[in-house]
Amino acid sequence: MSQRVYLFTRFERFWHWAQALLVLVLLFSGFAIRSVHDLLPFGPAVRLHETAAWLLIGLWVFAIFWHFTTGQWRQYIPTLERIGAVVRFYAYGIFVGDPHPYRQTPQRKHNPLQRLAYLGVKLVINPLVWVTGLAYLFWEPLRELAPAWLGLEQVAGLHVLGAFLMLAFVIIHVYLTTTGHTPLAHIKAMISGWETLHDDEVIEPRPRKG
């Protein structure tokens, strides 16, 4: 038997896919600016990069407002509960057919490992990308405020570091979306909002009394 659960709201799905598209555009145009590929000329790459960056900033501001007004920010509070079991599952259990040790619910959509990963993105990767990107864009008026050791070249280097960290996250994230009961199960859930939970998934432990 299986159970269908409505996990992802319309806004969450819109935010997810819009953010994914803009991040990919930023990576593509950013690597063009750095001459990693020549699929896009320098001038159009810069304009595309800046446009996508401002759109993503606007999306994030609206998403932050939505998360705090709806209380969905609680989904990202880190926890170490059952994290050992989740790590063992991804390191070994997934390859031998073990059931996932975490059961999603509308109140707890992300397992402990996901929460830590998303926290790292929000507290490390995103700030690194945006602070360095905006500093690079507005370097002239900020030059006098920067410490002596920090120049435009260092700002650009840190921005590229953030881009590679984001690329690594995207690759890992895409891989993990294929680890459901079918390779496309999690992707379909993020399109429709409905996730199918199977009986072999472990029920979450009951809250401790006292």
Task: List pLDDT tens digits, range 81-120.
Answer: 889 999 999 888 888 888 888 888 888 888 999 999 998 9
Average pLDDT over residues 194-200: 74
Residue 198 C-alpha from the chain's centroid:
26
What pLDDT score was predicted for residue 1? Answer: 58
Which residue did the predictor score with more confidence, 205 or 116? 116
Contact 12, 59 (CB under 8 A): no
Task: Specify the DSSP element, H or E, that contains 170.
Answer: helix 152-177
Q: pLDDT > 70: what percent of the chain?
A: 93
Question: In sequence order, what are the residues at sequence separation of 6 or more whose Cβ sits closer than 8 angstroms to the Cβ of residue 148?
Answer: none
Question: In sequence order, what are the residues at sequence separation of 6 or more whose Cβ sits closer than 8 angstroms to the Cβ of residue 76?
Answer: 110, 115, 118, 119, 122
Closest by CA to 48, choosing from 32, 68, 67, is: 32
Kindly indicate the confidence band of residue 203, based on its pLDDT and cuts at 50, 70 and 90: very low
Question: In sequence order, what are the residues at sequence separation of 6 or more whose Cβ sits closer than 8 angstroms to the Cβ of residue 106?
Answer: 5, 6, 7
What pLDDT score was predicted for residue 70? Answer: 92
Which residue did the predictor score with more confidence, 15 or 182? 15
